[in-house]
Structure 1
Amino acid sequence: MLVDSHCHLERLKLAEGDSLAAALDRAQQRGIERFLCVCVTLDSFGDMMGAIDGFEQVAASCGVHPLDQKEAQELDRLYDLAGHPRVVAIGETGLDYFYAPETAALQQQSFRHHIQVARQRGLPLIIHTRDAKEDTLAILREEKAAEVGGVLHCFTEDLDMAQQAMALGFYISISGIVTFRNADALREVVKALPLDRLLVETDSPYLAPVPHRGKSNEPQYVYDVAQFIAELKGVSLEELAQVTTANFYRCFPGAKALFGA
């Protein structure tokens, strides 16, 4: 069994006549049986929860993406929404200096707030980080994020950053980017990562892996990501699936309880 550890199910770009139920069924047919649907704004949290209502195989997170700062300082609201019984993580949160270096100060404040709420709620963090290595690691340390741990999702940074994050108790999640033609550096990082710290994800509907480039990404394509990583690391797909699923439940104990795993 595989887990898609990071997807945005309410944002799937489905063809006319298609449905989320059908998309999840397609995933299940390829051995993906559990999903973590990740929130990016507090205003969209209700719509996201409405979209996944009735799908018992889907857990959720609550947070504000670093590129959406209009709600970033609503600490009380984040805390309240994170009390939903299906929320197993805080995020995604973090720092993105690649797309929005001009909001770095706001992003940092929001990031700190998210870590504080995560510690208050006892929930792990889902971290988005791009071109912000030093500040990301510094804030994780300063705000004692190691108390709750979590994951650096859709990882594209260097091995040193991964190793420092793992030393703080974080997992490293790999998306379809690893299959892209220009991702040689990331592939070398993945080869060096220990299996017991790896997660796999789609980040759907974004970043469809090879051989689905150009299509809207779906949770079923986490199979292709996992197969590619297994080949990179010289293990069977079955072993990679078993290990990354176990890692997912260690990273997100609330999901383990929610799914009865």
Structure 2
Amino acid sequence: MENKLIDSHAHLDDESFDEDREEVIESLVDNHVEIVLNPGADLKTSRNAVALAEKYPFIYAAVGCHPHDSKYMNDDIMNIFRELAKNNKVLAIGEIGLDYYYDNSDRDVQRTWFREQIRLARELDLPYIVHDRDAHEDIFNIMKEEHTSSTRGILHCYSGSVEMAREFIKLGFYISLGGPVTFKKSKTPKLVAAEVPIDRLLIETDSPYLTPEPFRGKRNEPKYVSYVASEIARIREITAEEVALRTNQNFRRLFNL
């Protein structure tokens, strides 16, 4: 693939990379990966994401609290996120949202801190990155209630319907697809890949999770984002280079890069 790729969501700070993180990151240039956005999931990983972004020019960070960890959130942590987000390598607040599959935190607590972090993104005029698992309706309703003309961001590793994707796009959001679009039995992501306007599409790996075919079952890495691009290209009947080009343009537009 001649065009460079952007992985819009990867957790290179994850402990699964502790043994070979530098090798993995340094190999990205040879694998045509131009930019990686590394979101935090709590205070520790947000700080780690910022440290990685400061070390490598092509890695950027997002800071925020994942719904799993919202039970640990408080105003002091929010203030630290506010300060971290002022770093010029921090592009967004995230990943934030709701997860009703695991329910690791009480749902009311999840909803409270999702709102508060959306408001932080608005205050700082930053996009935000949404984690949505089995919570489509509440996610959408909160996002709609908190919406302003400047609100924008990403539905990361999107798993909802085409119809819901269209509603998120109306709110100014991009739809990001990852490894599941390559899975043989994953019908909904394939439909989304076919139907979402290409000027609203992003690609990601969510490394080290959700490894695409044919590497499913192994640790995911940002270099495998090319398999996501290739599958979307196959579905849309265009070239992988076109997918890379258009998703790169979308990422740069969203983050003013």
What TM-score, normalized to structure 1? Answer: 0.91
Q: How does 1:196-235 map to 2 (within 5 A)?
A: 196-235=199-238
RMSD: 1.7
Q: 2:154 aligns with which of 151, 156, 179?
A: 151
Q: Is residue 2:51 matched to residue 1:50?
A: yes
> Separation in 2 of the partners of 1:15 and 1:77?
25
Identity %: 39
Q: How does 1:1-16 map to 2 (within 5 A)?
A: 1-11=4-14, 13-14=16-17, 16=19
Query: What is the one-letter code of the residue matched to 1:147?
Result: S
> Separation in 1 of the partners of 2:68 and 2:18?
28
> Separation in 2 of the partners of 1:164 and 1:247?
18
> Separation in 2 of the partners of 1:208 and 1:97?
22
Query: What is the one-letter code of the residue matched to 1:246?
Result: Q
Q: 2:249 aligns with which of 243, 246, 249?
A: 246
Greater shift in the superposed pair: 6-15 or 36-45:
6-15
Query: What is the one-letter code of the residue matched to 1:181?
Result: K
1:22–1:136 Cα change, 3 Å: same
Give the structure, 1 or 2, with the largest relative contact order (CA under 8 Å, sep 6 or more). 1
Q: Is residue 2:138 matched to residue 1:135?
A: yes
Contact 1:27 1:221 in 2 (8 A): no
Contact 2:96 2:130 in 1 (8 A): yes
Contact 2:132 2:139 in 1 (8 A): yes
1:124–1:100 Cα change, 3 Å: same
Gaps of 5+ in 1: 257-261
Q: CA deviation at 1:24?
A: 2.3
What residue in structure 1 maps to residue 71 of structure 2?
Answer: 70
Cα distance per residue 1:54-104 (max 9 Å; x no partner) = 200011000000111233333323222212221110010011112218611
What TM-score, normalized to structure 2? Answer: 0.92
Query: What is the one-letter code of the residue matched to 1:9?
Result: L
Query: What is the one-letter code of the residue matched to 1:137?
Result: F
Q: CA deviation at 1:180?
A: 1.3
Contact 1:62 1:87 in 2 (8 A): yes
1:126–1:102 Cα change, 3 Å: closer
What residue in structure 2 maps to residue 81 of structure 1?
Answer: 84
> Separation in 2 of the partners of 1:154 and 1:2?
17
What residue in structure 1 maps to residue 196 of structure 2?
Answer: 193
Q: Give SS of 2:8's match.
A: strand
Gaps of 5+ in 2: none
